[in-house]
Structure 1
Amino acid sequence: MAHPLEGTPDGHQAPQLGAAVSRFRATYRALTDEKKSLHDAIKAKAVEMEALFDLVKPGRYRSLGLTALEEAVMWTVKELTS
C-alpha cells in the first residue's frame, strides 16, 4: 500500500485522485454501512465510559482519564476513517 504522504494516493483516496495529497484531509471518504456502524458503536461506548467516569469524584486523575478516553476515541476513529 502506498503511503498517502509520499504523493501516491492509496486505495482509500482513489476517488480524490485529482486532489493534492496532504496530511490534512480536506474531504472525507465515504464509509461503508459496516464502518459507519462501527464508528457509532465506538462513540456510544465512549459515552457509556464517560458516564461511569462521572461517578468518580472530580479531580486531576479523573480529568486525565477523560482526556485519555477522548484521545483513544479520536485515534481509533481516525484509523477507521483513514
Structure 2
Amino acid sequence: MSEQDNETLYQKAVEILTTEQKASTSFLQRQMSIGYNKAAMLMERAEQEGVVSKPNHVGKRDVLIGGDGVNHINSTDDGRVGNSPKRHQYRVLSDEEKARMAALKTKGQELLDLIAESGGSRELSIARTKTEEAVMWAVKHVTS
C-alpha cells in the first residue's frame, strides 16, 4: 500500500471514530472491512495524534475529538478542570474513583443504547431522561 493510500485510510478511520464516537479496534475493523492488524495500526496512530485516548484499566478508549473537530476532555482526566468557564475548585479523583465514574457512565450508556434500540414512545423518552439523571447523580456522588 502506498503512503497516499495509508493516509487516505487513516483519514477515513478518523472520520469514522469522530462521527461514531466509538474507539475500538474491532469496531474500526468492521466499519472499514479491513484486517485486525491494519485496524490496530490505525488505532495506534489515532492515539499518537490525540484522536483517541490510551486504553483505560479495562482496555476501553475514549474519542477525544468530536465530529465537530473540537477537542474534548475525558471526564476522568485530571486536566478537565482547565475547561471550566466558572473555574470551580475540583479535587483530584483517585484511580478507584475515576474507574467507578467511568464504569457508571459506561453502564449508563449501555442502558441508553438498549432503550434507543427498543423504539420510540413516551415511556422510553421518560426512561432515557431518568437514566441520564441517575447517571448524573451517581457520578456526582463519586466526585463530591
**Could you state the TM-score of these two structures normalised by the residue count of structure 2?**
0.39
Structure 2 CA distance for aligned equivalents of residues 37 and 72 of structure 1? 17
Name stretches of at least 5 consecutive residues in structure 2 with no aligned partner: 1-86
User: Pairwise mapping of residues 27-46 of structure 1 onto structure 2 (< 5 A)?
Assistant: 27-46=89-108
Distance apart, 1:33 and its partner CA: 0.3
1:15 is matched with: none
* Partner SS, residue 117 of structure 2: coil
Percent identity, aligned pairs only, is 43
Structure 1 CA distance for aligned equivalents of residues 111 and 119 of structure 2? 15
- Count residues in correspondence: 58
Distance apart, 1:36 and its partner CA: 0.3
Task: Report which structure shows greater RCO (CA 8 Å, sep ≥6).
Answer: 1
Q: Give the CA RMSD over aligned residues.
A: 1.3
Name stretches of at least 5 consecutive residues in structure 1 with no aligned partner: 1-24
Letter paired with 2:136: M
Runs of 4+ in 1 over 3 A off after TM superposition: none
User: Pairwise mapping of residues 58-73 of structure 1 onto structure 2 (< 5 A)?
Assistant: 58-73=120-135
